[in-house]
Structure 1
């Protein structure tokens, strides 16, 4: 891309997952533009390695829970103002906001109001198809293009009157090789006793809500004569919470710590018992049939069930367009209901085969095998830059 001066790109990512996306995008843009690009904005360690000096440490915004947000609200609002002010002062050629819409969209609205000539790209489509559908139309006022990680999202945005939206692919597409077994791992997947993944959640609050019912379900499954080897993958910062939670379990799982051990467990697992959510898509891409369960506090669950507009809370089901993975919510998430469902996916049953047949369609649905999501994201950023320059 010819340019008389370096292109300046302002990026805003406030969570670790967004930082990974931002770093990948920066890397591709640097490959395309070489020295003819400059980066400014907010990001984490990954974006720092690609040359970004963040306005502030994003760890300041790692806040969970309503009361915690309330206490930190003045700081959050100040950071929103500071980020928008910095973006306007930088006069970038483009603003790329990455996920975290409660923060990044407030920044984008301020920038659009005061510097309307700066094009804005939203990397990770807000889930307007699940919550607050009116956001889609409102976004047209300050977002020029949305980059979607899920294949059904562009049609959802069109239907809701949102800004232009393009499916670029989920980040898991770049990780397929680490999720699927080689020949030796497939042999272990087919061997006895089968490996059963136990995935109670990736946050302490989720672990707290799920540990008792997960432990009791495994006990009932074992009492009914089902053989299995339980493996519980977790991250280092959750290890103490997991160990505390399984202390009273009669069936003790092997704990796999860290991303590498987790992926290794996925490659040999025959089935999974998972908290409903994003991990279900990871399991589906790995070819691991599963049962989903979800429990939460009464207020949180009431809000979710009142506002949700989706036929399932299991991401794998939403991408497939059919509810092939059984899900047990709140009062239905009991050992008496979960144990038979788990038996069905551990053994060779029609339920298990139906899931495997559905998962085999994911490569086509998600366009796995084409260019990387990061490359496609960079294509749209550069195309938007060209249009803005020519306009």
Structure 2
């Protein structure tokens, strides 16, 4: 039985706070990390909060890194990344998703996909430029865009539409100041995917308004019931799309911090200038591990994907059985059940669930206006933990609802 824990949020202030840049002061800390931090050191809590595979990086990838370390491969790499890694990324994207890039000047290796997103927004956003972001969407997009001077425009990707971005919603959001469209499919937090047919009208609007697309495809490999379709694969879209991805989710390499950006060489050159003066290069040992993952780790990737598929079925069916409506996630490893029928705000619900039942989930409101009334639950956890979480959630709802 889980023992109830007190929840005592604390705020820290300082006389030096006025010296912090206004835009930094104005953004809130990560809502995901806030819940993760509350679980730290408490083994009784089942955390379904952080989006991280529960698998260890495969042994042969770790071994390749160890061998490189023993050989003394500890120096800087070229700013754009190891040539062999860029070549492997280009080959992999062509074979897996039909995307063709020249490894010499259309691929940059970054410090995780997060740096790639930041580089793109720094390179392409000027004060007043509007950045269109579907909502609900990944929690980091809005703050990164805001920190780089962008004006945020949320477009609802409604539950009734399967959490997909629609042409109608996008068209209504566009103004003369619109410059960037940031998309993430398979989607965090909803697990929604976009088909070729879904992308076609979106692509026409993007071209008509001369937008740049930042397409975060970090969950591309975790598409369960169809093949992943990148918007960059549509006619006329490669030149105006920056495809961003990495090795964290599909290859269980979150801590290695290796991502990449692919796209128009002129746009990538602008991103590379910033990368040269900030990160300089991604960690060399992480890059070596990434080469090994692409050359010999595809079976590992497929095995983990199948495990996530089975957990998806277990968890979504379990949520529905206890009375929570849940959209069927087609990708990533998140369920996004609705709690609207309870009349509770998502943050209040999540905090009480954590304090009284010992289950950590992320309240949907942190993913934008379209996320309120939902909870993000990661099923990147063992089947035993998922089953226990469902039992606790069911008991909690019987008592509190």
Asked if TM exceeds 0.5, the reply is no
TM-score where L is the length of structure 2: 0.30
Rg larger in structure: 1
TM-score where L is the length of structure 1: 0.31
Q: Which has the higher contact order (CA 8 A, sep 6+)?
A: 2
Q: Which has the higher helix share?
A: 1
